[in-house]
A and B are shown apart, each in its own frame.
Chain A
Amino acid sequence: MTATQGIGSPATDKGPAIEIEIRNLSKVFGDGPRAFKALDDIQLDIRQGEFFTLLGPSGCGKTTLLRLIAGFEQPSSGLLQINGKAVAGLGPNRRPVNTVFQNYALFPHMTLAENIGFGLKMLGKSRSEVASTTQEMLKLVKMDAMADRKPAQISGGQQQRIALARALAPRPRVLLLDEPLSALDLKLRKEMQVELKRLQLETGITFVFVTHDQEEALTMSDRIAVISGGQVLQMGTPHEIYNFPAERFVADFIGDTNFIDAEIVQYEGDFAQVRLPGGVVREASLPEGFNARVGETVTVVIRPEHASLTERGDLQATVENAVFFGTDTHIHLRLEDQTPFILRRQNTGVSVAPPEAGQHACIAVAEGGIQVLRS
């Protein structure tokens, strides 16, 4: 059976091998006038052994994409390959992929151990192998003391661990996780984030993780695909996605952001000189494949923590209020053209007093802190 082929292929090729290849993938639900395009021409390469996150707002098509990979739904058009093999038409039981369901879907009539052993049993493994792997998995998720309980007798966080163990037990090539942490409270969630990352590194299995929580995506992922309205807007490392958002939606969805109108004065390669409100000209980076024109007004992004209050700055503003958050203070300002601007100052010393409302302030933007958006 293909399902249990070991993970990690011989390291013959140069770059990391592609585990899941998605080309022009579309999914339409229903037909006629009620047809709805849930996924629109998706292109994705998910690499072997990486922690890949699908990030997007509710209803953007994340679950649909995951279900296509798992085999619960068939694509309307396009190509889907897992480990170099087209999987069109194969059911979920014939793909080397396992899913951790959003609400875990642990079998209520089986003990935790039976839940974990189910996949192996279905693959026809011997009793002793099922038993030993189940034990191993229970240890891996630190649940070996409760092997004989039923799912209804354990907490949400524990169910989560069992769901993970159940999906990992058959050693799939790819693990799909659909918002596995969304039902947990904040503290447990943080713990499980660490745990998930540990499991992924320990097993070396490719994780495809779905979330609508941008912080979760940033902290856990090797790479992120930001999805909206059934389309992949941007794909890249958390660093790239956060610091170089290519579209307004991406910038807005991930972190707090300031959007400012600026005029392109000059450009070369990936960089441009832009004139900020107030006349100061600064260097800004351009998104990939951006068609810049001199004199064009564009929107630029400045992250709140890339700006600071100084004597002589790039932008002139008036302080509206300051909100103290303990580790840092958020200062809300308004530029001369009334554009709101938020700035985050880290509270490195106790004595730093927040600026007073109504006070005039100059904002300096850190080197490389300005990014032009695709309009």
Chain B
Amino acid sequence: MDDMAGNKTEQATEIKETPKRHLWNWILCAPALTVLVFAASGPLLIVLVYSFLAPGSFGGITWSFSLEGWFRVFFSRDIFDPEIVSLNTAHLTIFWRSISLSLQTTIICAILGFPTAWFIATRPQHTRNIWLFLITIPFWTNLLIRTFAIQEVIRNQGLINTTLIRFGFIDTPIQMMYTDFAIFLGMAYVFLPLMVLPLYAAMDKLDIRYLEAGYDLYASRWQVLRHIILPLVKPGFIAGSILVFIPSIGAYVTPRLLGGGRSMMLGNLIELQFGQGRNWPLGSALALTMLVLVVGALVLYIRTVNREEEPRHG
């Protein structure tokens, strides 16, 4: 930190960074820092400590060091002979489902969000706010209620199935509730605005003359999209992807209501350990595993995205 501050003063030589000014900056930062330290790092630290302790018999923890919590993230012991160890396939399935569904959600949100954001960005200035406003309407209703509404649409006696049966396309309802598809649908619906908004912000800044220059230099509409628009709105895609992927991987309400007990995601598994499972150390270890997963995915993602940006020759 000190080092960075030092660099900064070197670069911006016109701005005199007097000690007094320095202090003032810290005072201004203090409230935000306090919140961050106590509300984010504090609990995280507690979770970290818990993950290395043994579970209490009615929830909670007992203060004795144990690696069992971490061990159980990936492995399970035979009920009768604890010495027999096998991979915990149930957990691994949930990990995989979380990652895969979150990726799918991010991708579908990007695919659906791009034309939506483009549509808004190309409306006349005074009508854009109305469209943005419409995009945020889902946020006004409680997440639970919205998820129940989706249930109403896709359940066996729901809107889709009864309509299809009424018109004779199918005889028996298509099972959509309590499947991965239901979770995917629910998350895509809930998180779409989080993709549209940063994409719109990027497109709003996009100078129309770059597109004209592209057309002028013999690019077709498709080529302008591929070579000019997409690279220039990439920051919007990155921001949108991060905003969608992170809450997706930790989603709790949507998989709980739409996936039920059969299609669990990480959030539900963690909740289970702190609730019925009464295994707080395992829950903590799972939570931290998810954290590592998310950070790892982000680093990987941003690295690949930036590598593409490097000039190819030289």
A contact set with B: CB distance below 8 Å:
1, 3, 70-72, 91-94, 97-99, 101, 103, 105-109, 111, 113, 118-119, 122-123, 147-148, 166-167, 170
Q: In B196-232, which residues have CB < 8 Å from any A CB?
A: 207, 209-210, 212-220, 223, 227-228, 231-232
Asked whether A170 and B218 contact (CB < 8 A) given A103-B209, A107-B228, A118-B227, the answer is: yes
Give 27 pairs: A residue, B residue, CB < 8 Å, sorted on A. Answer: A72-B212, A72-B215, A72-B216, A92-B215, A92-B216, A98-B216, A98-B217, A101-B209, A105-B213, A107-B210, A107-B213, A107-B214, A108-B210, A108-B232, A109-B231, A109-B234, A111-B311, A113-B313, A118-B214, A118-B217, A122-B218, A122-B223, A123-B218, A147-B314, A166-B217, A167-B217, A170-B218
Minimum-distance CB pairs A-B, first 7:
A119-B217, A105-B209, A148-B314, A122-B218, A105-B213, A92-B215, A122-B219
Report the count of interface residues on B (CB-CB < 8 A): 22
Query: B37 CB to closest chain A CB, in angstroms?
Result: 37
> Residue B215 contacts which of A1, A91, A167 (CB distance < 8 angstroms)?
A91
How long is the Cα–Cα vector from A119 to B218 in the complex, in angstroms? Answer: 6
**A91-B215, A122-B217 known, 16 other contacts, Cβ within 8 Å:** A72-B215, A92-B216, A93-B216, A93-B218, A93-B219, A97-B216, A98-B217, A99-B213, A99-B216, A105-B209, A106-B213, A107-B210, A118-B214, A119-B218, A122-B223, A166-B217
How long is the Cα–Cα vector from A99 to B213 in the complex, in angstroms? Answer: 8
* Any A CB within 8 A of the CB of B83: no
Query: B260 CB to closest chain A CB, in angstroms?
Result: 45
Asked whether A148 and B218 contact (CB < 8 A) given A105-B210, A105-B212, the answer is: no
* Any A CB within 8 A of the CB of B309: yes
Q: Which residue of A lies closest to B228 (CB)?
A: A107
Query: B64 CB to closest chain A CB, in angstroms?
Result: 56
Q: Which residue of A lies closest to B209 (CB)?
A: A105
Query: A127 CB to closest chain B CB, in angstroms?
Result: 12
How long is the Cα–Cα vector from A3 to B217 in the complex, in angstroms? Answer: 10
Which B residues lie within 8 Å of A106 (CB)? 213
Query: A75 CB to closest chain B CB, in angstroms?
Result: 17
In the complex the two chains form, is A93's CB within 8 Å of B220's CB? yes
Which B residues lie within 8 Å of A94 (CB)? 218
The A/B interface has a contact count, at CB < 8 Å, of 68
Query: B213 CB to closest chain A CB, in angstroms?
Result: 4
How long is the Cα–Cα vector from A122 to B209 in the complex, in angstroms? Answer: 17
Query: A193 CB to closest chain B CB, in angstroms?
Result: 23
Q: In B266-314, which residues have CB < 8 Å from any A CB?
A: 309, 311, 313-314
Q: Which residue of B lies closest to A70 (CB)?
A: B216
How long is the Cα–Cα vector from A111 to B227 in the complex, in angstroms? Answer: 13
In the complex the two chains form, is A101's CB within 8 Å of B213's CB? yes
Which A residues lie within 8 Å of B223 (CB)? 122
Which B residues lie within 8 Å of A111 (CB)? 311
Q: Which residue of A lies closest to B207 (CB)?
A: A105
In the complex the two chains form, is B228's CB within 8 Å of A148's CB? no
Which A residues lie within 8 Å of B219 (CB)? 93, 118, 122
How long is the Cα–Cα vector from A93 to B231 in the complex, in angstroms? Answer: 20
How long is the Cα–Cα vector from A1 to B220 in the complex, in angstroms? Answer: 13
Interface centre among B218, B220, B231, B313 (most CB of A within 10 A): B218
Query: B311 CB to closest chain A CB, in angstroms?
Result: 5
Interface centre among B209, B216, B311 (most CB of A within 10 A): B216
Which A residues lie within 8 Å of B214 (CB)? 107, 118, 122
Which B residues lie within 8 Å of A113 (CB)? 313
Query: A317 CB to closest chain B CB, in angstroms?
Result: 52
Query: A180 CB to closest chain B CB, in angstroms?
Result: 13
Asked whether A3 and B232 contact (CB < 8 A) given A105-B209, A105-B212, A148-B311, the answer is: no
Query: A103 CB to closest chain B CB, in angstroms?
Result: 7
Which B residues lie within 8 Å of A91 (CB)? 215
Q: Which residue of B lies closest to A108 (CB)?
A: B232
How long is the Cα–Cα vector from A94 to B227 in the complex, in angstroms? Answer: 18
How long is the Cα–Cα vector from A103 to B210 in the complex, in angstroms? Answer: 11
How long is the Cα–Cα vector from A167 to B232 in the complex, in angstroms? Answer: 21
How long is the Cα–Cα vector from A109 to B210 in the complex, in angstroms? Answer: 11
Query: A80 CB to closest chain B CB, in angstroms?
Result: 16
Which B residues lie within 8 Å of A99 (CB)? 212-213, 216
Which B residues lie within 8 Å of A103 (CB)? 209
Query: A143 CB to closest chain B CB, in angstroms?
Result: 15
How long is the Cα–Cα vector from A109 to B309 in the complex, in angstroms? Answer: 8
In the complex the two chains form, is B232's CB within 8 Å of A109's CB? yes
Q: Which residue of B lies closest to A98 (CB)?
A: B216
Which B residues lie within 8 Å of A167 (CB)? 216-217
How long is the Cα–Cα vector from A107 to B230 in the complex, in angstroms? Answer: 12
Query: A146 CB to closest chain B CB, in angstroms?
Result: 11
Query: B203 CB to closest chain A CB, in angstroms?
Result: 15
Query: B238 CB to closest chain A CB, in angstroms?
Result: 13
How long is the Cα–Cα vector from A99 to B212 in the complex, in angstroms? Answer: 9
Which A residues lie within 8 Å of B207 (CB)? 105
Q: Which residue of B lies closest to A103 (CB)?
A: B209
Which A residues lie within 8 Å of B212 (CB)? 72, 92, 99, 101, 105
Query: B313 CB to closest chain A CB, in angstroms?
Result: 7
Query: B67 CB to closest chain A CB, in angstroms?
Result: 48
Which A residues lie within 8 Å of B218 (CB)? 1, 3, 93-94, 119, 122-123, 170
How long is the Cα–Cα vector from A75 to B9 in the complex, in angstroms? Answer: 55
Which B residues lie within 8 Å of A166 (CB)? 217
Which B residues lie within 8 Å of A105 (CB)? 207, 209-210, 212-213
Q: Which residue of B lies closest to A95 (CB)?
A: B216
Query: A112 CB to closest chain B CB, in angstroms?
Result: 10
Query: B237 CB to closest chain A CB, in angstroms?
Result: 13
Which A residues lie within 8 Å of B232 (CB)? 108-109
How long is the Cα–Cα vector from A91 to B218 in the complex, in angstroms? Answer: 9
Which B residues lie within 8 Å of A122 (CB)? 214, 217-220, 223
